[in-house]
Amino acid sequence: MSVLSTEPLSRHSTIRIGGPAERFALPSSMEELLHVLDLVDRGALPGPVRFVGNGSNLLFPDAGLPGTTISLKRMTRFRILPDGSIDADAGTYLPRLAFRAAREGWDGLGFLSGIPGTLGGGIVMNAGTRDGEIGNILEKVRLLDPKGRLHTLDRSEIAFSYRSSPFQSASSGDDRTPWSGYAIVGAVLRAVPGEHAGLMQEWNALRKERARSQPLDCPSLGSVFRNPVPHAAGRLIDQSGWKGRSFGGIQVSALHGNFFVNMGNGTASEFCHLMSLVRKAVFDAAGVCLDPEVETVPAVL
Ligand SMILES: Cc1cc2nc3c(=O)[nH]c(=O)nc-3n(C[C@H](O)[C@H](O)[C@H](O)COP(=O)(O)OP(=O)(O)OC[C@H]3O[C@@H](n4cnc5c(N)ncnc54)[C@H](O)[C@@H]3O)c2cc1C
């Protein structure tokens, strides 16, 4: 297993921003994950610990992160059982899971086809689209507590809401949540029988629609702000006059106002500054206060 020193976090975030992680571990099994946690416990690796997935919703700091950052994106085993339940490791890539389910004739996961995150990160964010969200197809979540003990939570014990779950901030050791310091290590999802050809058609249509409406050729973190129901954040940003404008190396995408893209040499501080400029402009123009969906990681925990 790799435990890397001063690993650039920019390599582990889809917006390609972030300074060095003091240590960065990529376990590919439960045994390896437990081994890393044991090394931290014995002082052989530095704390604090932070769990991440594919970094598709994380803005890492320019200064990097102290302690040991653990990405579960190599823990990728999953199986689809004959009754339609899907038992998957936390690092399973959501589009891969959705594709496999569709190919094998299982319906209900199509909305995950364009979300470039892992199952663990998807559960933390209650990731989804207007067609569905992870909380709706979840049956159980497997968690590892800071002492290395496994717990299984039933869906009925978890209060999900729009892009929100009780696991948010838990991975950073934030003690305002009961899951502080817990890792999501796996989950059971539920699919329903469908028809292979129709599901593959839906898959292709969803991917095409994303490519048409989102700047997928530039590094980004997807939607920067949650939609302030009943409004769409992208439309409000568009109306505020910020679509296509930039600050430093970060641009408000000209294609989709709620996506900020890295033009090549953007930094986390520029991204944050652009967020505050856009929030102020939207508030001045529409009286709406936008709530960030992207998670900004502080340099000092
Ligand atoms: C082009 C693009 C399109 C997108 N479209 C959508 C969309 O349609 N809908 C949507 O909801 N999101 C979308 N996103 C955002 C993002 O993909 C989702 O939020 C995704 O669920 C994040 O998963 P991740 O594995 O990348 O998590 P990360 O960004 O790595 O982490 C997110 C949070 O989860 C925590 N975390 C991650 N894994 C674990 C774990 N195993 N245990 C404990 N904590 C963990 C992290 O510490 C962090 O707090 C998009 C992003 C991009 C770049």
- pLDDT value at residue 147: 86
* pLDDT per residue as tens digits for the range 239-261: 999 999 999 999 999 999 999 99
User: What gap in Å lies between CA 41 and CA 59, rounded to an integer?
Assistant: 27
Lowest mean per-residue pLDDT among 41-45, 67-71, 296-300: 296-300
If we measure between CA atoms, which residue out of 294, 283, 281, 273 comes closest to residue 243?
281
Atom index in ligand 1 nearest the CA of residue 90 equals: 41
Residue 44 has pLDDT above 80, yes or no: yes
Distance 55 CA to ligand 1 centre (A): 6
Atom index in ligand 1 nearest the CA of residue 58 equals: 29
Q: Which of 223, 253, 270, 295 is catalytic?
A: 223
- pLDDT value at residue 301: 46
- pLDDT value at residue 172: 47
Kindly indicate the confidence band of residue 293, based on its pLDDT and cuts at 50, 70 and 90: very high
Query: Taking a C-beta distance cutoff of 8 angstroms, is the pair 271, 282 a contact?
Result: no
Percent of the chain at pLDDT > 90 equals 92
Tokens of 215: 């700047």
Burial class of 132 by CB neighbour count within 10 A (0 to 12, 13 to 18, 19+): middle
Residues β-bridged to residue 36: none
Residue 173 has pLDDT above 80, yes or no: no
Domain residue ranges in the chain: 2-71, 78-199, 214-296
CATH class of the structural domain 214-296: alpha beta
The mean pLDDT of the chain is 95
Q: Which pTM was predicted?
A: 0.96
For residues 18-37, average pLDDT? 97
Q: How far is CA 197 from CA 41, 203, 233, in A?
A: 50, 10, 34
Amino acid code (one letter) for 136: N
Question: Which residues are CB-neighbours of 103 under 8 A, at least 6 positions away?
Answer: 196, 199, 200
Distance 134 CA to ligand 1 centre (A): 12
Kindly indicate the confidence band of residue 299, based on its pLDDT and cuts at 50, 70 and 90: low
Query: Taking a C-beta distance cutoff of 8 angstroms, is the pair 228, 288 a contact?
Result: yes
Query: Taking a C-beta distance cutoff of 8 angstroms, is the pair 193, 84 a contact?
Result: yes
Atom index in ligand 1 nearest the CA of residue 184 equals: 42
- Mutation test residue for ligand 1: of 54, 123, 124, 153, the one with most atoms within 8 Å of CB: 124
* C-alpha torsion 16→22→24→25, nearest 10: -170
Atom index in ligand 1 nearest the CA of residue 14 equals: 53
Question: Known catalytic residue: 163?
Answer: yes
Amino acid code (one letter) for 119: L
Q: Which CATH topology does 2-71 take?
A: 3.30.43
Ligand 1-lining residues (CB < 6 angstroms): 14, 51-58, 72, 90, 114-118, 120-122, 124-125, 127-129, 163, 171, 183-184, 214, 216, 220-222, 295
Distance 286 CA to ligand 1 centre (A): 28
Kindly indicate the confidence band of residue 61, based on its pLDDT and cuts at 50, 70 and 90: very high
- pLDDT value at residue 2: 80
Tokens of 50: 């932070």
Residues β-bridged to residue 86: 80, 189
- pLDDT value at residue 170: 47
Q: Which of 96, 155, 163, 207 is catalytic?
A: 163
Question: Known catalytic residue: 28?
Answer: no
**What's the residue count for the chain?**
301
For residues 159-180, average pLDDT? 76
* pLDDT per residue as tens digits for the range 75-110: 999 999 999 999 999 999 999 999 999 999 999 999
Kindly indicate the confidence band of residue 297, based on its pLDDT and cuts at 50, 70 and 90: very high
User: What gap in Å lies between CA 136 and CA 75, rounded to an integer?
Assistant: 23
Distance 42 CA to ligand 1 centre (A): 30
- The 3 state secondary structure assigned to the chain is CEEEEEEEHHHHCCCCCCCEEEEEEECCCHHHHHHHHHHHHCCCCCCCEEEECCCCCEECCCCCEEEEEEECCCCCCEEECCCCEEEEECCCEHHHHHHHHHHCCEECCHHHCCCCCEHHHHHHHCCEECCEEHHHHEEEEEEECCCCCEEEEEHHHCCCECCECCCCCHHHCCCCCCCCCCEEEEEEEECEECCHHHHHHHHHHHHHHHHHHCCCCCCEEEECECCCCCCCHHHHHHHCCCCCCEECCEEECCCCCCEEEECCCCCHHHHHHHHHHHHHHHHHHHCCCCCECCEECCCCC
Atom index in ligand 1 nearest the CA of residue 71 equals: 38
Question: Known catalytic residue: 293?
Answer: yes
- pLDDT value at residue 298: 85
Distance 175 CA to ligand 1 centre (A): 21
Distance 156 CA to ligand 1 centre (A): 22
First to last CA, the chain: 26
Q: Which CATH topology does 78-199 take?
A: 3.30.465
